[in-house]
Chains A and B, each alone.
Chain A
C-alpha cells in the first residue's frame, strides 16, 4: 500500500506501523463516573467496519508522526490522510 503523507507525499506503507481504530484518540476521562465501562469500551470494543475505517498509522521509518487514515477495508482505497495531532485537537483533546 501507499500512504500519501500530508507533508511528505506518497510513502510505502512498509515505513509505517499500524495501531488500530482512530477511536483510540478518544481516551475517556479517568474521573468519569462510568470510567470503568468507558475504558472497557475504549480498550476492547471495535466497530470493525467492512468499508470506510478511520485508523491510526505511525510513520516510524519516517517523520515519527501519527496519521489518521480513512481507508476502505474492502478495497484498501485510502480517501483521506490527516495528521493525528490535528485530529486529536479537533476532537477536543487540547488540555
Chain B
C-alpha cells in the first residue's frame, strides 16, 4: 500500500520502512514517524470517536496535547487504552485500534447521541434520572457507565516490568527546544551538573517542526549539533523520551522515561522508569501550545492546528491534506501557509481574522482579510469550509491558529497562579514559582526563536551563578525574531452550529454559555459542571479559550474572570510506572526467621506477620487440616516439650548509667530495682494512657538491659524510646540499638524443656530450677562454646525458656534442639499453637492490645506504678477511662460446649435487644483448646471481673448467629502458675 500523503523531506528514515495496522488495516510508515504522522501519510483522517456525542474525529495536534487521536495500542495483555497517536513512536508490528464506538469506527451506532445533543447539554444528568427512584441503580446508571470511558483495560495483569531511579543535578532543564538547548549548553559549559529532559524521541522541540535558521544553519541541524556537544560533556545527561511530569517541594521533580515503548517488545527490561530528580535549580523550557478557534463544526477530521500541520509537513514529510486552507488570527498561521507552499502543498486560502496586509507572500494562496470560518462540511473528513461571508471554500484540511499559550503547567504544580499578559494575549508563569525554578523561552512568553535562545542562555546562567558557577562567556546562538502579532479571537460568534471547545469531552461554546446562565461562573464551577478540561488532555487546548468565552459572558476581562491552574502530572503516567517494582511478591521485602529454611523443609505453612514470614503450623503426614496440626503441637508441648521460633519479637539493647531510670519512664511498671540476671514483664503505655506494647526486659548488667517488644511494634517502640531519650530526657546517659535480627531466639516450652536444654547448654552453666528459677536470665554458651542468652520466661504457661544464639546459627540451632529433643518427642510449634496456648493462659496479645484498651481494661491496672512518672500515667487517670462499668478482659466458654465461639461477636445481656445501645463488649480472641476439649475465648465485657459465671449472649449478626456464653476467668489452664515455676 502506498502512502498517498507522503511528500519529500522531513526527518523520517525512508530506508527503514515500518509496517503497522490500524483497525486491522495494513499500513506502512517510516522510522521516525509517529503513529499520527503515519496515519496521515496513509490518508487515514478518521481515527476516533468523541466521548459524549461519538462525533467522528481525526488528528488535531502533533503533540501531547492531543484530545482526539486516541487509540488502543497493542493487543492482549499489552493493550494500552487512550494512547495518543501523536506521541506514539511508530515501530514495526505496531497495532492500533480506534476507541469508543459500537460497530465500526466508520459506522458507530452510538452516533445517535449526536442527534439527541439538544437534550444532553451541560449537566443534563443532574436534572433527570431521578424518577422512579429504583431506576437509577438498575437502569440509568448502568447505561451511563457503559457509555462512559474511552478505551478498555485488557483485564489481564500488566506483563511489563517497571523501574524507578534517583538522579541528582545542579540544573534540571525541562524541554530540549531552542530555549532548553540554549540553557543546557550554557550551564553545561560552565561545568554544572545538568540534566536535560525532553518528552520527544528527537530533541529539538519546535525546531524540528520549523524551517527557521540558527547560526546560519537549519534549526533541526543546529539542535542536532547542540545535542552532540551536550552528549560529549561528562557533566550533562540528556534524557530523551522523558517527560518531567511534576514539580514537587524543594526542587524534586518526577520524570517518566519511556524505554521500550518504541519497540515491539520490552525483552525483559523495564518498559518505563520513573525518575525522581533532585535538582538544585531548574529551568522550565516547555515551550508553548497552539490554541484553536471555536467555530461551527470545528471538530471534523481534517481540521487541525496550524503548527501541527506544518510539523507534519516539515518534520515527517507528510501533508495532512491535498487542498489546504489556513484560518488564523496571527502571524504564525502564515508560516504554515508559507512552509506548505514551499513544499509544494496546495494552499488555497489564508483566512485571517485581522484586517491587515499579508504577512508574507504565499504563492497560489488567496488572502481573505477580516474573515472567519463559520461552519464546515464533511462528516468523516473535511470537505469544505463556510466563511462568515457565506463563501464556501473546498478544503480537505483546515489549518487553524488561534495563537500560542505558554506551557505554564509545571509552574502551577505548587499552586502558583499564572498571570495574564495582554501583549501576547496569553497567561505566562506567575511570580510564585516552585522554589528553584526559572522559566525560559516560549513557556515564559518569549515567543520568538531569537528571544527563546537568548532567554534560555540568560536564565540558565543566572541559575548556575546562584550555585557558585562561573557562566561561560559564549554568546547565545543567533536567530531572527519571526513576526508574532496576534489579535485574539476565541470563537466565531456568527456560528450557528455547535462549536467545540473541549473536543474530547464534547464541551461546546453553547455549554459554556449555559453554564454561565445557570450560575456556574467561576472557572472551577465551569470545569466541574461542563467537564471541560477534565479529559485525558487536561484541557491543554481547551481551558484558555473556555475562560475567554466565560469572560465574554461575564463582561469582565480574562484575568478578572479567573485563571486555571494545572496539577500533576503534566501528561498521564501509567500506574505501572508509578508502582515501580512493587508487584506481586516484590511489593514489600520479606523478613525471614533464622530457622526459615528448616521450617520450610519440615512442613511449615507460613503466615505474614508484618513483613515477617512465620511458621504458622507444621503439618505432618496424615493430618487432615490445620486444626489437627495445631492441636497436636499444643498437646505435645504441654505434655513434653515444643520449640517455637520467636526471633521476630523486637529486641532492643539498652545501655548506659541511666538505663534503669530510662526504663522507668518508658514502662508503666518499675524497673529500677530489677536485679541483674532477672527478667521482668513490662507494660508500656501511650501518652494518652492507652496500652501500647508489652514484653520482657532482662537486666544483663548494672547498666545493660535487653528489652523485647511485640513483633508488630518493634520499630514503633524503638522510635518512641528514641523520642524519650532525645527529646524528653536529653541528659540521660542511655543508648539504644536494635538487635532484633542479630539473635535467633527460640522458645522451648513444656515439662521437658529443662531436660532438653540441659543437653544443649554447656555444662558449666547451671540451669537447675534453683540456680536458674522462673524469670532468671543470663549469658550462657551452647554446643561447646557458642555464646547464647537464656531467659526463663513463659508465654505458654509451661516450664519454658527462650534461648538466643547469634542469628547465623539459627538454622543449625533448631536442628540441634530437635535432635536433642528426639528422646522427648519434641515438636516444633507455630504461631497458631502459640496463640492457642496464650489464650488458654489468658495472656493479652494484639487483639487485646489493639490501641483502644487501658491497663484497667486488661486487668493490669495494678502494674501502673504510683511511685513514679511514666509515659501515659497522668492521662490514664481521666474519669471516663476509669468508669465503674469499664470493660474488663475475661474468659468465655460456650454454654453448649460443642459450639465454636466467634471472635468479633458482641455481648448482649440476656433478655436485651441486640442493638448498639445494649452492647456490652466483644470477643477478642477464640481458640479450640485441645487441653479442655472445647472452644474458649477472651473478650472485653463491662465490669467483667464482677460477673464471673454470668451467662450472656454472644451475637454475630454478620453470621446470622448467636450463642449463650459463660463469663469465666481468662486463666483457663494452671491459674496458679505452678507449671511455669516447676
Q: Do chains A and B touch in the complex (CB under 8 A)?
A: yes
By a beta-carbon cutoff of 8 Å, the part of chain A in contact with chain B is 1-2, 10, 12, 17, 19, 24-25, 27-28, 30-31, 35-36, 39-40, 43, 56, 58, 60, 64-66, 76-78, 83-89, 93-95
Question: A93 with B723: in contact, given A2-B249, A40-B875, A76-B250 (CB under 8 Å)?
Answer: no
Tell me, yes or no, whether B812 is within 8 Å of chain A by CB.
Answer: no
Query: Could you tell me if A30 and B278 are in contact, using CB atoms closer than 8 angstroms?
Result: no
Tell me, yes or no, whether B163 is within 8 Å of chain A by CB.
Answer: no
Residues of B near A58 (CB, < 8 A) are 719, 722-723
Query: Could you tell me if B727 and A84 are in contact, using CB atoms closer than 8 angstroms?
Result: yes
Query: Could you tell me if A88 and B250 are in contact, using CB atoms closer than 8 angstroms?
Result: no
Tell me, yes or no, whether B726 is within 8 Å of chain A by CB.
Answer: yes
Residues of B near A28 (CB, < 8 A) are 874
Question: A2 with B727: in contact, given A30-B869, A39-B875 (CB under 8 Å)?
Answer: no
Give Cα A35 to B719, complex, Å: 25
Query: Could you tell me if B719 and A30 are in contact, using CB atoms closer than 8 angstroms?
Result: no
Query: Could you tell me if B250 and A2 are in contact, using CB atoms closer than 8 angstroms?
Result: yes
Chain A residues touching B, majority SS: mixed
Residues of chain B in range 739-779 having any CB-CB distance to chain A below 8 Å: none
Residue among A40, A77, A88 with the highest chain B CB neighbour number at 10 A: A88
Tell me, yes or no, whether B344 is within 8 Å of chain A by CB.
Answer: no
Residue among A19, A27, A94 with the highest chain B CB neighbour number at 10 A: A27
List 4 additional contacts besides A2-B278, A30-B873, A89-B731; criterion CB under 8 Å.
Answer: A2-B252, A85-B727, A87-B727, A93-B727
Q: How far is the CB of B513 from chain A (nearest CB, A)?
A: 37
Residues of B near A88 (CB, < 8 A) are 726-728, 730
Give Cα A2 to B280, complex, Å: 11
Can you list 30 A-B pairs with a CB-CB distance of less than 8 A? A1-B249, A1-B252, A2-B249, A2-B251, A12-B252, A17-B719, A19-B723, A28-B874, A30-B873, A31-B869, A39-B874, A40-B878, A43-B875, A56-B723, A58-B723, A60-B715, A60-B719, A64-B722, A66-B726, A66-B727, A76-B250, A84-B727, A88-B727, A88-B728, A93-B727, A93-B728, A93-B730, A94-B730, A95-B731, A95-B732
Give Cα A65 to B873, complex, Å: 26
Tell me, yes or no, whether B435 is within 8 Å of chain A by CB.
Answer: yes
Residues of chain B in range 715-736 having any CB-CB distance to chain A below 8 Å: 715, 719, 722-723, 726-732
Residues of B near A40 (CB, < 8 A) are 875, 878
Question: A85 with B719: in contact, given A1-B250, A36-B877, A43-B687 (CB under 8 Å)?
Answer: no
Tell me, yes or no, whether B825 is within 8 Å of chain A by CB.
Answer: no
Q: How far is the CB of B413 from chain A (nearest CB, A)?
A: 12
Give Cα A76 to B413, complex, Å: 13
Residues of B near A39 (CB, < 8 A) are 874-875
Residue among A1, A66, A87 with the highest chain B CB neighbour number at 10 A: A66
Tell me, yes or no, whether B962 is within 8 Å of chain A by CB.
Answer: no
Residues of B near A83 (CB, < 8 A) are 726
Residues of A near B249 (CB, < 8 A) are 1-2, 76
Annotate B788-820 by CB proximity to A: 1 below 8 A, 0 otherwise: 000000000000000000000000000000000
Q: How far is the CB of B879 from chain A (nearest CB, A)?
A: 10
Q: How far is the CB of B704 from chain A (nearest CB, A)?
A: 19
Chain B residue nearest to A90 in the complex (CB): B730
Residues of A near B869 (CB, < 8 A) are 30-31
Chain A residue nearest to B687 in the complex (CB): A43
Tell me, yes or no, whether B213 is within 8 Å of chain A by CB.
Answer: no
Give Cα A59 to B578, complex, Å: 25
Residues of B near A27 (CB, < 8 A) are 728
Residues of chain B in range 235-273 having any CB-CB distance to chain A below 8 Å: 248-252
Residues of B near A78 (CB, < 8 A) are 250
Tell me, yes or no, whether B688 is within 8 Å of chain A by CB.
Answer: yes
A-B CB proximity, top 4 nearest: A2-B250, A30-B869, A39-B874, A88-B730
Q: How far is the CB of B687 from chain A (nearest CB, A)?
A: 6
Residues of B near A64 (CB, < 8 A) are 722
Give Cα A94 to B869, complex, Å: 16
Residues of B near A24 (CB, < 8 A) are 727
Residues of A near B719 (CB, < 8 A) are 17, 58, 60
Query: Could you tell me if A85 and B875 are in contact, using CB atoms closer than 8 angstroms?
Result: no
Q: How far is the CB of B180 from chain A (nearest CB, A)?
A: 24
Residues of chain B in range 531-552 having any CB-CB distance to chain A below 8 Å: none
Chain B residue nearest to A24 in the complex (CB): B727
Annotate B615-651 by CB proximity to A: 1 below 8 A, 0 otherwise: 0000000000000000000000000000000000000
Residues of B near A65 (CB, < 8 A) are 726
Q: How far is the CB of A19 from chain B (nearest CB, A)?
A: 7
Query: Could you tell me if B688 and A66 are in contact, using CB atoms closer than 8 angstroms?
Result: no
Query: Could you tell me if A93 and B729 are in contact, using CB atoms closer than 8 angstroms?
Result: yes
Query: Could you tell me if B874 and A85 are in contact, using CB atoms closer than 8 angstroms?
Result: no
Chain B residue nearest to A44 in the complex (CB): B688
Query: Could you tell me if B250 and A84 are in contact, using CB atoms closer than 8 angstroms?
Result: no
Give Cα A95 to B657, complex, Å: 14
Chain B residue nearest to A76 in the complex (CB): B249
Give Cα A60 to B249, complex, Å: 21
Chain B residue nearest to A64 in the complex (CB): B722
Residues of A near B875 (CB, < 8 A) are 39-40, 43
Query: Could you tell me if A77 and B435 are in contact, using CB atoms closer than 8 angstroms?
Result: yes
Give Cα A82 to B729, complex, Å: 17
Which listed residue (A1, A35, A66, A95) contacts B874, Cβ 8 A? A35
Residue among A10, A39, A58, A85 with the highest chain B CB neighbour number at 10 A: A39
Give Cα A85 to B723, complex, Å: 9
Give Cα A25 to B724, complex, Å: 9
Residues of A near B715 (CB, < 8 A) are 60
Give Cα A78 to B251, complex, Å: 13
Which listed residue (B722, B729, B731, B732) contacts A66, Cβ 8 A? B722
Residues of B near A76 (CB, < 8 A) are 249-250
Residues of A near B250 (CB, < 8 A) are 1-2, 76, 78
Q: How far is the CB of A9 from chain B (nearest CB, A)?
A: 12
Query: Could you tell me if A84 and B726 are in contact, using CB atoms closer than 8 angstroms?
Result: yes
Residues of A near B874 (CB, < 8 A) are 28, 30, 35-36, 39
Residues of B near A87 (CB, < 8 A) are 727
Residues of B near A93 (CB, < 8 A) are 727-731
Give Cα A40 to B874, complex, Å: 9
Give Cα A15 to B815, complex, Å: 39
Chain B residue nearest to A94 in the complex (CB): B731
Chain A residue nearest to B879 in the complex (CB): A36
Query: Could you tell me if B727 and A25 are in contact, using CB atoms closer than 8 angstroms?
Result: yes
Residues of A near B878 (CB, < 8 A) are 36, 40
Give Cα A43 to B730, complex, Å: 20
Give Cα A48 to B788, complex, Å: 50
Query: Could you tell me if B728 and A25 are in contact, using CB atoms closer than 8 angstroms?
Result: yes
Q: How far is the CB of A43 from chain B (nearest CB, A)?
A: 6
Chain A residue nearest to B728 in the complex (CB): A27
Chain B residue nearest to A59 in the complex (CB): B722
Q: How far is the CB of A49 from chain B (nearest CB, A)?
A: 18
Residues of B near A35 (CB, < 8 A) are 874
Query: Could you tell me if B688 and A85 are in contact, using CB atoms closer than 8 angstroms?
Result: no
Give Cα A40 to B687, complex, Å: 10
Give Cα A30 to B270, complex, Å: 58
Q: How far is the CB of B415 from chain A (nearest CB, A)?
A: 10
Q: How far is the CB of B872 from chain A (nearest CB, A)?
A: 10
Q: How far is the CB of B37 from chain A (nearest CB, A)?
A: 41
Q: How far is the CB of B742 from chain A (nearest CB, A)?
A: 17
Chain B residue nearest to A77 in the complex (CB): B435
Query: Could you tell me if B727 and A43 are in contact, using CB atoms closer than 8 angstroms?
Result: no
Q: How far is the CB of B656 from chain A (nearest CB, A)?
A: 13
Give Cα A51 to B726, complex, Å: 26
Give Cα A35 to B873, complex, Å: 11
Give Cα A76 to B250, complex, Å: 8
Which listed residue (B252, B688, B729, B731) contacts A43, Cβ 8 A? B688
Give Cα A94 to B733, complex, Å: 11
Chain A residue nearest to B665 in the complex (CB): A27
Give Cα A45 to B210, complex, Å: 62
Q: How far is the CB of B908 from chain A (nearest CB, A)?
A: 33
Q: How far is the CB of A30 from chain B (nearest CB, A)?
A: 4
Residue among B248, B250, B722, B732 with the highest chain A CB neighbour number at 10 A: B250
Residues of A near B732 (CB, < 8 A) are 95
Query: Could you tell me if A89 and B730 are in contact, using CB atoms closer than 8 angstroms?
Result: yes
